[in-house]
Amino acid sequence: MKMLADVVTVERRFARSARLDSDLDGTPPLAGYVLQGSVQKSLLAMMAGIAEGGQSAFTWTGPYGGGKSSAALLLASLVGGTEEQRKLAAKIAGKEMVARAEGAFPSSDNVWRVIALTGRRADLRADLANACAGSLGWNKDVSEASIADPRFLIDRIVQDTQQGGVVLLLDELGKFLEHAIGEGGDVHFLQDLAERAARSKGRLVVIGILHQSFEQYASKLNRSAREEWAKVQGRFQNIPFVSQPDEVAALLSSAIKVAKAPPTAQELARTIAEFVGQRRQTDVPALIEILAGAWPLHPVTTLLLGPVSRQRFAQNERSVFGFISSSEERTIGPAVGAS
């Protein structure tokens, strides 16, 4: 007698979250990446802000595990990756986004360089100086001067944009902000960085990735400090990253691989999809295929996992794929192995 484990597998590429600073040098985390419609919309909005609005400093805000780091990895590969990375990223992004990226990040012989930094409770300036020294090839004297003097650090980054554009990707920026709160709440370095990016004629782009707004991080500071933080946030255009329920269901369908699902899977998927279609605008045939493809999950479970994980755990895809890839009790792993 066959077990579910004999016919059901979970794609391992969905079992880990992206870590931008270490993943940028390799293609495996991007291989198999599924670009959601909401993420595509957010990236296109940012590119339009650069190409048409002259904006150069952005924050990406969305729930934990909402795919922001993976989207940043896609952008980094598309703009400043190796030839292999760019080809893979272009295939995932599609023609429209590739064309928009070429408009927002124009290049000829001088390529764009991407500096990726993952936040921790430490000084942003020192960590950024060290990351730039490694990626831009700064010597010891320049590196030490950059750590000691934040103005010199920004000047040197801008100087390097003359040899090709520079993108600063500050993942988990909130951790640096939390450290800043403990040190008195001074975030003027971010303001200075955003202002210099605005004067760089599009050659320096700064992206900070957050789970909540600046004001929320600063909520426990005094009124004067909160006002200063609000001024800093005003230098950045915020791009929201929030997945739609059916997008999470589609990711589940892509993650779960089934050798052969029973006929009842399609029938039940049709019933639920048609029920949903009666209550909101839905591409019913597409939803049927998505729900059937996520078998052995019940279609209702597939639809609810995204909203429930976001409301209950302040997370999204990360919680969902932890549920389907984990071997912990009350996750799909033990259920598949025992059935």
Q: Are residue 111 and residue 133 in the same domain, yes or no? A: yes
**Are 137 and 261 part of one and the same domain?**
no
What is the predicted pLDDT for the residue at 105? 94
Asked if 32 contacts 130 with a C-beta cutoff of 8 angstroms, the reply is no
Confidence (pTM): 0.81
- Residue 25 included in any domain: no
Least confident of 14-28, 48-62, 204-218, 265-279: 14-28
pLDDT digits (tens, 9 = 90+) for 138-168: 999 999 999 999 999 999 999 998 878 999 9
Determine the Cα–Cα distance for residues 63 and 306; give it in Å rounded to an integer: 11
CA distance 87 to 77: 9
First to last CA, the chain: 10
> Same domain for 132 and 48?
yes
The verdict on 278 and 212 lying in the same domain is no
For 58-63, what is the mean pLDDT? Answer: 91
Q: Per-residue pLDDT for 25 more than 90?
A: no
pLDDT, residue 94, reads 93
Q: What is the pLDDT of residues 253-296, one digit of tens each?
A: 877 888 778 889 999 999 999 999 999 888 888 899 989 988 88
Of residues 211, 312, 206, 295, the one with CA closest to residue 252 = 295
**Average pLDDT for residues 30-35, to the nearest whole number?**
76
**Does any domain span residue 19?**
no
Last residue of a domain, one of 173, 206, 240: 240
Please check whether residue 28 lies inside any domain of the structure: no
- Work out the average pLDDT over 28-34: 69
User: Is the residue at 68 inside a domain?
Assistant: yes
Residue 112 inside a domain? The answer is yes
Same domain, 42 and 147: yes
Within 13 A of 231's CA, how many CA atoms are on the CB side?
13
Share of residues in the chain with pLDDT > 70 (%):
81
CA dist list (Å): 2 to 44, 250, 259, 269, 337: 46, 27, 12, 23, 11
Tokens describing residue 208: 């900070």
Residue 26 lies in a domain: no
Asked if 106 and 207 sit in the same domain, the reply is yes
Structural domain ending residue among the three candidates 240, 256, 280: 240
Per-residue confidence (pLDDT) for residue 310, from 0 to 100: 63
One domain, residues 80 and 157: yes
Indicate if 113 and 206 belong to the same structural domain.
yes
Do 116 and 225 reside in the same domain of the chain? yes
DSSP 203-271: SEEEEEEESS-HHHHTTTS-HHHHHHHHHHHHTSEEEE----HHHHHHHHHHHEEES---HHHHHHHHH
- Please indicate, yes or no, whether residues 107 and 251 belong to a single structural domain of this protein: no
> Is residue 56 assigned to a domain?
yes
Residue that finishes a domain, picked among 205, 240, 275: 240
Task: Please write the tens of the pLDDT for every residue from 210-262.
Answer: 988 888 888 888 888 888 888 899 999 999 988 776 777 887 887 788 877 88
Task: Flag whether 174 is in a domain.
Answer: yes
Residues 287 and 204 in one domain: no
Query: The domain containing residue 312 runs over which residues?
Result: 4-14+244-338
Give the chain's domain count. Answer: 2
- CATH number of domain containing 233: 3.40.50.300
What percentage of the chain exceeds 90 in pLDDT? Answer: 46
Answer whether residue 58 shows pLDDT above 90. yes
Q: Are residues 251 and 202 in the same domain?
A: no
- pLDDT above 70 for 317: no
314: pLDDT strictly greater than 50? no
Spatial distance between the Cα atoms of 167 and 59, rounded to a whole number of angstroms? 13
